[in-house]
Chain A
Amino acid sequence: MPYFLLLPGLLWLGVFFVVPMVFLLSQSLQTGTLETGYQLTFHFATYSDAMAQFFRQFLRSFEYAFLATVLALLIGYPLAYAIALKSGRWKPVLLVMVVAPFFTSFLLRTLAWQTILNSDGLVMKFFRGTHLIQLTTALGWTNGSQLLSSPLAVVTGLTYNFLPFMVLPLFASLDRLDPRLLEAAGDLYASPLSAFRRVTLPMSMPGVVAGTLLTFIPAAGDYINSRLLGNPNTAMIGQTIEGYFLRINDYPTAAALSFVLMFTILVLVSVYVRKSGTEELV
């Protein structure tokens, strides 16, 4: 019976996933306060109240996460393509550079963006000099005369922080692409552009799906970027959950929000995976 080999994994899953899940679900249906203790009362109204109150933060989270994912894909695909197919002997160096940000903490990297985007920085000077700031403000991406504390800054931060999660799976699928298939496409009258559309892109779809999932899921739940680079009007749902758990100490509301977030992501992801039809490709 080789099934006992599954035991460590199942144990891990049980202790670190199933038990906390059950605990969280139960917490979300309890009533009470931290001082008086919580009672399981199957108080489902917590869900409707929380959703009514924080629907905008939910929507904003998915909007920002979606934008960051699209941007990361647009930046990450050419990058992964270049590293996988055009970098020659520089490939390992470039790969290390993609992963290098992980040697610093997530928090520090996000704080660094405060410096990059602050009012005395080069980026701000560029935006002011080219009057781009007026355009972004008109579009509602920035507020007035600064880049920081704006939706633009939050989405930039999210894009930056999750870019490696996009690049690595894309690289893995593009690196596996047999260059002889591209020769064959050229031999069969496909121009380079057509060969990309008909061969490279479909063959890299598993990487696109994996990369977008790995970017979208954590970005939707992130609260560091919106906290450090945004303002109260850019608050994402992760920020609300964090606040309700750690500062307001309203555990049931926080647990309910966590559950809704998780469930929504689960639904979105399964629809996405089914739509992109990549199950058999992966």
Chain B
Amino acid sequence: MKLELKELVGMSESREEIVKRARADLAQRLGVSVDEIEEEQVEEADFPDMALGAPVKGEMSGQMITSGWRIRLKAGARGGYEYRASGSQLRLYNYKGTNWLVNRES
């Protein structure tokens, strides 16, 4: 009885909306236009915990395998930016050595 993806994401945000949020966040961090952020890959993924394997400082999380989306973005030649999404959460994984909860700094 694996969770349906639409249940996990809650459908409050569609795939497109989540990717749009991720692109907007990355554009802001890099100081470039959103148009310069490209989608490398978006795939379903199982993350190790409820912080999607990307806990921010001081965060404790439920140790339950959590399904969601792994979103890989690039900006021109610069690639390897990884966002993780599930439910209403969007996290930037290992950006400059730190995990970020989007809209809340670590």
Whether A associates with B in a native complex is no
